[in-house]
């Protein structure tokens, strides 16, 4: 397949490119940008006038529910949803059932994703066997089987000694470690941020300190281990300050935020609306503002969907018992670019947070549009008005608080390694 994308505004933060131009794709790679070879005969022409041409989006945190919960969603259904949202690659957490703690599991997930033909899946391996926080996994072998990092998902590693050794061991092979620093004791059975909303609604609360204690501990351990660490899904303004300080001292630590933490805050929970139940919880307006500033200031360099598809029934429960998470693959790109348009951070930073920064963290050569690079491309129409409805969503999980809302901007074409895996007419 050979493709030419004509007349679009190409934004490639890694190469510091922002211009209206043509781009030619052949044999899975970017053949040329600007003046195309005279003998180039594309099999497909995409008119991108008034559209953005971006590197394919790389989502560092998504749940696909397979294996273990295929009744809720599958790798095929969710990678298709990803492609329809301009996402070409996504990283899945190891908390499937069974857990991704063996090379066989990692291979199986990659095989199934390849067979579905949509977005490419890069699994994370478990940091500890069964995510129990006790024994280290065969990290080197997991990496050889295609895992791009290791993580204990949302399961706490209670023993600081185990955490230190896990980080040290991972650093031996320069394997990135994804961390979710939440102190398990302070988190307890909490379901919302400890503040005015938890007090009024009488819901068990998670104090800010659950995260800051976790971040402080993990940063201290990272310092002594030399590991490359990625703190996944920050929720508190004070954690941002701690990460900024660690980075200013040269520590190899990066951080991400889920897009919903940049859009919503605790008061949106309203009357026990379980669609706003997420982990870590939505916090105060000032936290949201601090996280937006952190993206602008490049302390938080990655924005992810934290996609968690659920069936309707698990959300139809009292708040404390309802499942946590938002189905977010299809809104990640328009929401992020919308925040850039509102001036919270630059368009370059927004796109970098969705493309080459995540690629850099997991060490893959993707997320940019250099000549000769793998052709992962997303064409995005920033003027397209649409409404998020159940029918519009490809994901099996319809659990989003944005349901029924008007959205601006949408991916129209998604290309993975030179193949058009998704296109939207009109």
Nearest distance in Å: CB 376, other proteins: 37
**Residue from 12, 66, 194, 360 in contact with other proteins (CB under 8 A):** 194
For residue 29, the tally of other CB atoms under 10 A from its CB is 15
Query: What whole-number distance in Å separates Cα of residue 367 and Cα of residue 88?
Result: 9
> Which pair of tokens denotes residue 96?
């499937």
Is residue 205 a contact point for other proteins (CB under 8 A)? yes
Residue 10: both structure tokens together: 């190409």
Is 209 a residue that touches other proteins (CB under 8 A)? no
Q: Minimum Å distance from CB 161 to other proteins?
A: 25
Q: For residue 218, which phi and psi values (nearest 5 degrees)?
A: -65, -40
Task: Considering only the stretches 50-58, 268-276, 297-305, 387-395, report the one whose residues sit in contact with other proteins under the rule CB under 8 A.
Answer: 268-276
Phi and psi torsions of 378, nearest 5°: -125, 130
Please identify which of the residues 59, 101, 218, 306 carries the catalytic annotation. Answer: 306
Half-sphere exposure of 423 (CA within 13 A, CB side): 12
> Is residue 6 classed exposed, middle or buried when 0-12, 13-18 and 19+ CB atoms within 10 A define those classes?
middle
Q: Which is nearer to other proteins, 87 or 402 (CB)?
A: 402
- Give the one residue of 264, 319, 356, 380 binding other proteins; rule: CB under 8 A: 319
Shortest separation between residue 71's beta carbon and other proteins, angstroms: 11
User: With contact defined as beta carbons under 8 Å apart, do 355 and 56 qualify?
Assistant: yes
How many residues touch other proteins under the rule CB under 8 A: the total is: 24
Site for other proteins in 269-288 (CB under 8 A): 270-272
If we measure between CA atoms, which residue out of 149, 155, 145, 130 comes closest to residue 92? 149
| From 159-167, 219-227, 317-325, 345-353, span contacting other proteins (CB under 8 A) | 317-325
Interacting residue with other proteins among 116, 187, 198, 327 (CB under 8 A): 198
Contact with other proteins (CB under 8 A) among 129, 314, 384, 388: 314
Q: Does 383 bind other proteins (CB under 8 A)?
A: no
* Nearer residue to other proteins within complex by CB, 269 or 421: 269
Using CB under 8 A, pick the residue from 32, 154, 323, 384 that binds other proteins: 323
Q: Is 249 one of the binding residues for other proteins (CB under 8 A)?
A: no
How many CA within 13 A on the CB side of residue 191? 20
DSSP string, 353-367: HHTHHHHHHHT-S-S
Which range of residues in 22-30, 63-71, 99-107, 196-204 is near other proteins by CB under 8 A?
Answer: 196-204
Exactly one of 161, 316, 383, 390 binds other proteins (CB under 8 A); that residue is 316
306 is catalytic: yes
Which span (4-12, 145-153, 199-207, 255-263) binds other proteins, by CB under 8 A? 199-207
Burial (CB < 10 A; 0-12, 13-18, 19+), residue 355, is buried
Q: Which is nearer to other proteins, 179 or 186 (by Cβ)? A: 186
Find the shortest distance in angstroms from Cβ 280 to other proteins: 17
Task: For residue 321, state whether it binds other proteins (rule: CB under 8 A).
Answer: yes
Nearest CA-CA partner of 207 in 188, 191, 189, 193 = 193
**203 contributes a contact to other proteins by CB under 8 A:** yes
Please report whether residue 184 would count as binding other proteins according to CB under 8 A. Answer: no
Q: Does an H or E element contain 52, and which?
A: strand 52-55
Distance CA 386, CA 402 (A): 12
Q: Which residues in 279-318 are b (16+ Cβ under 10 Å) and which e?
A: bbbbbbeebbebbbebbbeebbbbbbbbbbbbbeebbeee
Residue 9: enclosing H or E segment and its boundaries?
strand 2-12
Q: Identify which range of 54-62, 189-197, 301-309, 399-407 contacts other proteins by CB under 8 A.
A: 189-197
Report yes or no: 364 and 417 within 8 Å, Cβ to Cβ. Answer: no
Say whether residue 320 binds other proteins (CB under 8 A). Answer: yes
Closest contact distance (angstroms) between CB of 336 and other proteins is 27
Taking the complex as a whole, how short is the minimal distance between the CB of residue 196 and other proteins, in angstroms? 5
- Asked if 210 touches other proteins (CB under 8 A), the answer is no
Q: CA–CA separation, 233 vs 229, rounded Å?
A: 13
Among 47, 134, 196, 385, binds other proteins (CB under 8 A): 196
Kindly tell me which residue out of 159, 199, 387, 405 binds other proteins, with binding defined by CB under 8 A.
199
409: left (phi over 0), alpha (psi -120 to 50) or beta: left
Active site residues: 306
Positions touching other proteins (CB under 8 A) are 194-196, 198-205, 207, 270-272, 313-314, 316-321, 323
């Amino acid at each position: 397949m050979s493709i030419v994308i004509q007349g679009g505004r190409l934004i490639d933060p890694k190469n510091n490119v922002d211009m209206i131009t043509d781009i030619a794709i052949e044999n899975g790679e970017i053949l040329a940008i600007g003046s195309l070879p005279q003998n180039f005969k594309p099999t497909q022409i995409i008119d991108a006038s008034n559209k953005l041409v971006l590197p394919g989006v790389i989502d560092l945190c998504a749940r696909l529910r397979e294996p273990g919960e295929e009744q809720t969603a599958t790798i095929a259904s969710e990678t298709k949803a990803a492609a329809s949202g301009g996402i070409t690659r996504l990283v899945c957490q190891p908390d499937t059932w069974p857990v991704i703690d063996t090379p066989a599991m990692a291979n199986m997930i990659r095989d199934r994703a390849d067979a579905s033909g949509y977005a490419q899946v890069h699994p994370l391996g478990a940091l500890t066997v069964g995510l129990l926080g006790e024994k280290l996994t065969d990290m080197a072998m997991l990496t050889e089987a295609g895992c791009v990092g290791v993580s204990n998902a949302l399961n706490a590693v209670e023993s600081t000694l185990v955490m230190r050794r896990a980080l040290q061991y991972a650093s031996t092979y320069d394997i990135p470690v994804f961390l979710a620093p939440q102190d398990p004791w302070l988190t307890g059975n909490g379901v919302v941020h400890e503040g005015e909303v938890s007090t009024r609604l009488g819901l068990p609360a998670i104090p800010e300190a659950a995260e800051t204690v976790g971040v402080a501990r993990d940063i201290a351990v990272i310092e002594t281990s030399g590991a490359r660490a990625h703190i996944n899904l920050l929720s508190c303004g004070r954690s941002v300050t701690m990460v900024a300080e660690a980075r200013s001292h040269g520590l190899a630590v990066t951080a991400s935020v889920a897009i919903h933490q940049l859009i919503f805050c605790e008061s949106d929970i309203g009357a026990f609306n379980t669609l706003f139940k997420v982990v870590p919880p939505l916090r105060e307006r000032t936290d949201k503002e601090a996280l937006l500033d952190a993206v602008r200031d490049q302390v938080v360099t990655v924005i992810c969907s934290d996609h968690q598809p659920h069936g309707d029934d698990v959300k139809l429960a009292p708040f404390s018992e309802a499942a946590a998470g938002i189905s977010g693959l299809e809104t990640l790109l328009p929401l992020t670019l919308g925040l850039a348009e509102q001036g919270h951070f630059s368009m370059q930073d927004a796109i970098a947070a969705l493309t080459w920064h995540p690629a850099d963290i997991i060490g893959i050569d993707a997320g940019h549009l250099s000549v000769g690079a793998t052709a992962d491309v997303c064409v995005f129409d920033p003027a397209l008005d649409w409404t998020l409805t159940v029918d519009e969503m490809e994901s099996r999980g319809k659990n989003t608080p944005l349901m029924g809302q008007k959205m601006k901007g949408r991916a129209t074409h998604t290309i993975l390694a030179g193949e058009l895996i998704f296109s939207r007419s009109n």
